[in-house]
Amino acid sequence: MNIVHISAECYPLAKAGGLGDVVGSLPKYLNKQGDYASVILPHYYNKWMQSAQTRLIYEGQAPLGSSAFGFRISQLIEPKLGFDLFLVDIPGRFDRPGVYLDPWSGYAYWDEMERFFSFQIAALEWLIGGDHMADVLHCHDHHTALIPFMTSQCERYSVLKETPTVLTIHNGEYQGRYNMGDASLLPPFNQDKIGLLDWEGSLNALAAGIKTAWSVTTVSEGYLDELLDFCHGLEILLRQEKAKCIGILNGIDTEIWDPATDPYLDENYSSDSLSEGKKRNKSLLKEQFQMGSDRPVFSFIGRLVREKGADLIPDLIRESFNQGVDASFIVLGTGDPYLHTVFEGLVNNFTGYFDSRLEYNEKLAHLIYAGSDFLLMPSRVEPCGLNQLYSMRYGTVPVVRKTGGLADTVPDIGEKGGYGIVFDEFSLEELITAVKRGVELYQNTRKFNQIRKKIMGLNFSWEKAARNYQQLYASLK
Ligand code: GLC
């Protein structure tokens, strides 16, 4: 089956969060398991692309309201990613380095709507005008959620009307809300159907996708249940469309995320050499961060945003220090400019207890997974969460809030067969208690090692998840 993924992110070319990881690995596993899966992505002008080799395969003009724009499709030749990647180059829209944000200012690009409307339109123009076949169009998040609307409603794309569409919700917090008047930027459709774009008086791209896609998936079962309860107004719509919704837990790319072979690590290790391997990586981590010796290290990796609970970390550090909690804390990531300032201040005030690197750094992230003892994920919302899965593969015990995919993948050590530290309420108090439980576990060397060995052996690979998607695609034909 030909599955065409259309997305704003795809690792290693463009990654702002977990969406990039998923789109950079699911197609590879679909291919391994007998399908032909490819990806269509905007052609960003970033560092990675500078050393990539591409081949121009198509040039066209596409409509955007009453005007037109030119676009080019190139195929990635080198490096090989395990699937075909097609890049949509739209001069004036994507010839910039950031996916959503301007890396210099930290703020979102002003023309998000024009960028992603034109990307989706150009992708469809190529699909109807070029020779790339699709049996299923798989869209991801609101940036590509208008595709199911356009293939089902726009006369111009009627040849794709019978092609099943899947929309995966990686994050219902972002919905792509615009003015209803912006609907005029889309190719003509029967105006009686304009309500399909509308939610509470706005053009809501995610809502339009939920209404018109053949199937809607969420990245864990738990997250689907949560969205049916609350999705910033879309819960009512999701309840109406429940019959076509299904939760499919993400996997991880165990070829990339393997401490035994990880090229980002200077000290590789497996579960047989766990204690020694973790110790060596912890020493290397100490060369990168100022932290006390022989204390458990709790790390946070990811976007510094409310959703991930990053705003709880500063208080956690202050309060843990005041209460004399014997630990070290590390933060790696970028996000809210205000939090950047707060973390910079904390590094000065708590030298040796807390350290941070406020940047996106894939190599350092791998070292942190390998060298830390615990990974903190105090998320307010976590549709699936991949970091807890990476950390477990590296023998680092996750400390997570019980929500979405975290609840689905990390049972508490207090439960039978449990292997993580889980807390319920989003509060400083519960987070500190969880950290203290972590310190206690660390001090019980035998139990700590047992847990670390256990989590390294868990299988969260894409093989199973890709099979679930294959079943879904087959059911749509
Ligand atoms: C989003 C979600 C995260 C999920 C990822 C991949 O980034 O916030 O929880 O793991 O998408 O689906």
Whether residues 338 and 214 share a domain: the answer is: no
Whether residues 277 and 351 share a domain: the answer is: yes
Whether residues 451 and 467 share a domain: the answer is: no
Q: Report yes or no on 341 lying in a domain.
A: yes
Whether residues 301 and 230 share a domain: the answer is: no
Spatial contact of 297 and 374, defined as CB atoms under 8 Å apart: yes
Laid out side by side, the sheet with 354-357 consists of 354-357, 328-332, 297-301, 374-377, 397-401, 421-423
Nearest CA to ligand 1 atom 10: 385
The stretches of 350-461 forming alpha helices (DSSP H) are: 362-371, 387-393, 404-409, 428-443, 445-456
Ligand 1 within 6 A of 383 CB?
yes
Whether residues 220 and 362 share a domain: the answer is: no
Whether residues 378 and 411 share a domain: the answer is: yes
Q: Report yes or no on 261 lying in a domain.
A: no
Query: What pLDDT does residue 135 have?
Result: 98
Tokens representing 99 are 């996916």
For residue 219, the ligand 1 atom closest to its alpha carbon is 12
Whether residues 360 and 240 share a domain: the answer is: no
Neighbour count for residue 53 (Cβ, 10 Å): 10
Q: Which of 384, 387, 408 to mutate to test the pocket of ligand 1 (most atoms within 8 A of CB)?
A: 384
Whether residues 109 and 157 share a domain: the answer is: yes
Tell me the C-alpha distance between 326 and 348, whole Å: 19
Q: Is the pTM of this model over 0.75?
A: yes
What spacing in Å lies between the alpha carbon of 2 and ligand 1's midpoint?
25
For residue 404, the ligand 1 atom closest to its alpha carbon is 9
CA-nearest of 405, 476, 419, 408 to 447 is: 419
Ligand 1 within 6 A of 114 CB?
no
Ligand 1 within 6 A of 384 CB?
yes
Q: Report yes or no on 337 lying in a domain.
A: yes
Whether residues 111 and 205 share a domain: the answer is: yes
Tell me the C-alpha distance between 419 and 403, whole Å: 16
Half-sphere exposure of 85 (CA within 13 A, CB side): 30
For residue 382, the ligand 1 atom closest to its alpha carbon is 9
Task: Work out how many domains the chain is built from and give that number.
Answer: 2
Query: What pLDDT does residue 105 have?
Result: 84
Ligand 1 within 6 A of 219 CB?
yes
Whether residues 204 and 304 share a domain: the answer is: no
> Which residue positions in the chain have pLDDT lower than 50?
none
What spacing in Å lies between the alpha carbon of 414 and ligand 1's midpoint?
27
Q: Report yes or no on 260 lying in a domain.
A: no
For residue 173, the ligand 1 atom closest to its alpha carbon is 8
Q: Rounded to an integer, what is the distance from CA 241 to the centroid of its chain?
A: 24
Query: What pLDDT does residue 104 have?
Result: 85
Q: Report yes or no on 263 lying in a domain.
A: no
Whether residues 85 and 199 share a domain: the answer is: yes
Query: What pLDDT does residue 106 have?
Result: 78
Whether residues 297 and 320 share a domain: the answer is: yes
The stretches of 270-395 forming alpha helices (DSSP H) are: 274-288, 313-322, 337-349, 362-371, 387-393
Q: Report yes or no on 262 lying in a domain.
A: no
For residue 21, the ligand 1 atom closest to its alpha carbon is 6
CATH for 380: 3.40.50.2000
Q: Report yes or no on 305 lying in a domain.
A: yes
Query: What pLDDT does residue 294 have?
Result: 87
Q: CA-CA-CA-CA torsion for 96, 125, 477, 196, nearest 10 degrees?
A: 80
Q: Which helix (H) or strand (E) holds 206?
A: helix 205-212
User: Domain range holding 142?
Assistant: 2-251+462-476
Ligand 1 within 6 A of 386 CB?
yes
Q: Report yes or no on 275 lying in a domain.
A: yes
Ligand 1 within 6 A of 305 CB?
no
